[in-house]
């Protein structure tokens, strides 16, 4: 094990109807006025908006609505949220939605307490404070409900970048698996792919010597597969939805990477370019990138890939394990090739150039040059 700091102060409140406690949680924490961030109007049609505002009113929490967050949230909309939060002098942010809503809310929480443009924090400025964040999540996928990461796209520059700070861990996140039972199956599948992507980055790229983390990662992947095999046929199965929901949270809350060294997130890096340029769902992009990256990477760490093949799919060689993963992605109707997402192969150089700039920002451009990224993408043709 390598040296690490693990500090995850988010309080998780998990279970049926728990969104009705959000007003109490915000009041207990001492806040009175929130920016209520959400995406589409579906939360009004479903009754969720009404249940949450009822809880806020019951506990004398006032709120300012800020809807319209899009999938792959954008910096121009984030800036509007910052302006509104400043103007209305809110003392906290309440995010209700999936990972996009949470990520944009984190950025708003940072930007509201700064005179800088909020994008500055995505290109290197250190986050030193943020408004407290409360969340009610409606999609199991990103883990944003229990970590300090936020990814936002600058739609002018086509940069999909992230901030990472202890200051944007949610204070309280409410996870009611019932809310995910109506998620369309394609987005359920993208969530499953995303959760797997979160754990395989460290699993494959780290230095050797982490028996515990290997086992935890394998436990998470096996649970993602088992629960989603049920969800695909019984979308409202509460047991499967709830087990997957908590698994997706644990997949990116720091647990599986604590004690690792020299791991990095190349699949996410390349995918960010796909979704920044083509605005596809993050999980869809990952389902395309992961098998391609694995095919490129497996001969560099054959023992790792043989273990993966054996432990997850019970097959005996690295290539077979990768094929099984790709087959499983297809079985849940996730795209696995660029053409499945209508991305032309002749755009690979342009995508690789975009991703290479993020590789530079992350300090992994010694391995992930534009040429290498293009080579990886060619495995997805």
Scanning residues 181 to 210, which ones bind a copy of itself (CB under 8 A)?
A: 209-210
Scanning residues 256 to 295, which ones bind a copy of itself (CB under 8 A)?
A: 258-259
Of the pair 241, 295, the CB lying nearest a copy of itself is at: 241
3-class DSSP assignment, residue 36:
strand
How far is 169 from 24, CA to CA, in rounded Å? 19
Of the pair 197, 240, the CB lying nearest a copy of itself is at: 240
**What is the full DSSP assignment across 247-288?**
HHHHTTSSTTTTT--S---HHHHHHHHHHHHH---HHHHHHH
Of the pair 84, 226, the CB lying nearest a copy of itself is at: 226
Rounded to the nearest 10 degrees, the angle between the axes of helix 370-378 and helix 348-362 is 130
Answer yes or no whether residue 5 interacts with a copy of itself by CB under 8 A: yes
User: How would you label 59-97 residue by residue, b for 16+ Cβ within 10 Å and e otherwise?
Assistant: bebebbebbebebbbbbebbbebbebbbebebbbbbbbb
Answer yes or no whether residue 350 interacts with a copy of itself by CB under 8 A: no
How far is 150 from 100, CA to CA, in rounded Å? 9
Answer yes or no whether residue 212 interacts with a copy of itself by CB under 8 A: yes
How far is 97 from 37, CA to CA, in rounded Å? 8
How far is 256 from 215, CA to CA, in rounded Å? 9
CB of 239 to a copy of itself, least distance (A): 6
CB 97 within 8 A of CB 139: yes
x-marked contacts with a copy of itself along 119-158 as a string, rule CB under 8 A: ----------------------------------------
Of the pair 68, 259, the CB lying nearest a copy of itself is at: 259
Answer yes or no whether residue 363 interacts with a copy of itself by CB under 8 A: no
Answer yes or no whether residue 29 interacts with a copy of itself by CB under 8 A: no
CB of 145 to a copy of itself, least distance (A): 11
CB of 13 to a copy of itself, least distance (A): 5
Of the pair 201, 243, the CB lying nearest a copy of itself is at: 243
Nearest CA to 282 out of 143, 177, 142 is that of 142
Total interface residues for a copy of itself by CB under 8 A: 41
First and final C-alpha spacing in the chain: 38
Of the pair 122, 313, the CB lying nearest a copy of itself is at: 313
How far is 34 from 93, CA to CA, in rounded Å? 5
Six token digits for residue 309: 């093949």
Which residue shows structure tokens 């209508």? Answer: 342
How far is 117 from 104, CA to CA, in rounded Å? 14
Phi, psi at residue 358, to the nearest 5°? -70, -35
CB of 117 to a copy of itself, least distance (A): 29
Answer yes or no whether residue 16 interacts with a copy of itself by CB under 8 A: yes
In this chain, which of 23, 97, 98, 177 binds a copy of itself, going by CB under 8 A? 177
Of the pair 83, 239, the CB lying nearest a copy of itself is at: 239
Q: Which stretch binds a copy of itself (CB under 8 A): 58-66, 220-228, 327-335, 370-378?
A: 220-228
x-marked contacts with a copy of itself along 233-262 as a string, rule CB under 8 A: ------x--xx-xxx--x----x--xx---
Sign of the torsion angle spanned by Cα atoms 356, 359, 361, 364: negative
CB of 41 to a copy of itself, least distance (A): 29
Element (H, E) at 376: helix 370-378
Q: Which stretch binds a copy of itself (CB under 8 A): 72-80, 181-189, 219-227, 284-292?
A: 219-227
CB of 33 to a copy of itself, least distance (A): 24
Binding-site ranges for a copy of itself (CB under 8 A): 1-16, 18, 177, 209-212, 215-216, 218-220, 222-223, 226-227, 239, 242-243, 245-247, 250, 255, 258-259
């Amino acid at each position: 094990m390598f040296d690490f700091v693990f500090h995850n102060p988010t309080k998780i409140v998990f279970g049926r109807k728990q969104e009705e406690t959000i007003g109490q949680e915000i009041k207990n924490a001492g806040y009175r006025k929130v920016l209520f961030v959400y995406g589409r109007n579906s939360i009004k049609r479903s009754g969720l908006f009404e249940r949450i505002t009822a809880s806020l009113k019951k506990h004398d929490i006032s709120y300012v609505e800020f809807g319209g967050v899009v999938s792959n949230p954008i910096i121009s909309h984030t800036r509007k949220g910052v302006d509104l939060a400043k103007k209305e002098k809110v003392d906290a942010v309440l995010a209700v939605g999936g990972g996009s809503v949470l990520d944009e809310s984190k950025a708003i929480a940072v930007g509201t307490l700064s005179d800088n443009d909020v994008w500055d924090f995505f290109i290197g400025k250190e986050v030193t404070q943020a408004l407290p964040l409360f969340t009610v999540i409606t999609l199991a996928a990103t883990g944003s409900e229990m970590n300090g990461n936020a990814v936002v796209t600058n739609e002018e520059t086509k940069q999909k970048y992230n901030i990472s700070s202890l200051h944007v861990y949610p204070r309280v996140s409410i996870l009611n698996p019932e809310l995910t039972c109506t998620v369309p199956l394609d987005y359920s599948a993208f969530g499953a792919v995303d959760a797997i992507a979160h754990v395989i980055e460290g699993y494959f790229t780290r230095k050797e010597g982490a028996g515990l983390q290997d086992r935890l990662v394998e436990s998470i992947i096996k649970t993602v597969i088992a629960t989603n095999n049920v969800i695909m046929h019984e979308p409202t199965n509460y047991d499967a939805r709830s087990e997957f929901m908590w698994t997706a949270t644990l997949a990116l809350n720091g647990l599986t990477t604590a004690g690792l060294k020299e791991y990095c997130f190349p699949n996410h890096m390349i995918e960010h370019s796909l979704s920044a340029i083509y605005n596809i769902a993050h999980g869809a992009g990952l389902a395309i990138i992961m098998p391609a990256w694995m095919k490129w990477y497996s001969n560099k760490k054959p023992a790792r890939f043989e273990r993966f093949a054996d432990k997850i799919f019970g097959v005996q060689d690295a290539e077979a394990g990768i094929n099984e993963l790709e087959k499983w992605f297809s079985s849940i109707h996730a795209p696995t090739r660029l053409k499945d997402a209508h991305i032309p192969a002749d755009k690979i150089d342009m995508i690789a150039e975009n991703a290479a700039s993020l590789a530079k920002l992350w300090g992994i451009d010694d391995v992930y040059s534009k040429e290498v990224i293009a080579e990886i993408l060619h495995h997805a043709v």
